[in-house]
Structure 1
Amino acid sequence: MAGVVKAMDAAMKSMNLEKISSLMDKFESQFEDLDVQSSYMENAMSQTTTTTVPLNEVDSLMHQVADEAGLELNMELPQGVGTVGTSTQVSQEQDELSQRLARLRHTE
């Protein structure tokens, strides 16, 4: 790239349009090659980084952040989504909680 820049300076001084055009094409080609190489390196580095991070340290950090924020963290994968009994049970529990809350509001 440095050679192309020096050649561009020389071509600009001579004002040879054909030489300037060919140098600009060469510069564009080298720039595209550099872009492809840097993209490849970024992908390789990101894949390497994600595969070397220990999962237990990630889990530990997530628990630490959740504790600091006062949140309960459920690290388990969801069980069979779409089971009718579970969703009905959850909605019944929500209904019971809503009723209890309404009773508490009326007693105050």
Structure 2
Amino acid sequence: MGNIVKSLESSLATGNLQKMSETMDQFEKQFVNMEVQAEFMESAMAGSTSLSTPEGE
């Protein structure tokens, strides 16, 4: 993520629109990957919580 920010900063400084577009595409892909990982972790944690909760609660 940090590399993307640095790349975008340099693209903005030079005014290279092609490079900016490529960097934003890369950012979007990584953001989507993070969302998928977060959803997976949330569902895994919810599943483990429901397994460890006593039946009466």
Counterpart residue number, 2:41: 41
Paired residues in the alignment total 57
Task: State the TM-score, normalized to the length of structure 2.
Answer: 0.94
Tell me the CA shift for residue 54 of structure 1. Answer: 1.2
Residue 18 of structure 2 aligns to a residue in which SS? Answer: helix
Counterpart residue number, 2:31: 31
Matched, 1:14 2:24: no
Q: Deviations over 1:38-63 (max 9, x none)?
A: 0000000000001100124x1xxxxx
Task: Kindly report which structure 2 residues correspond to 1:54-73, keeping only aligned pairs within 5 A, or say none.
Answer: 54-56=54-56, 58=57
Identity percentage of aligned residues: 37
Q: Which amino acid aligns with 1:19?
A: K
Structure 2 portions without partners, runs of 5+: none
Tell me the CA shift for residue 6 of structure 1. Answer: 1.1
Runs of 4+ that moved beyond 2 A: none
Please identify the structure whose Cα radius of gyration is greater: 1
Higher relative contact order (CA 8 A, sep 6+): 2
Structure 1 portions without partners, runs of 5+: 59-108
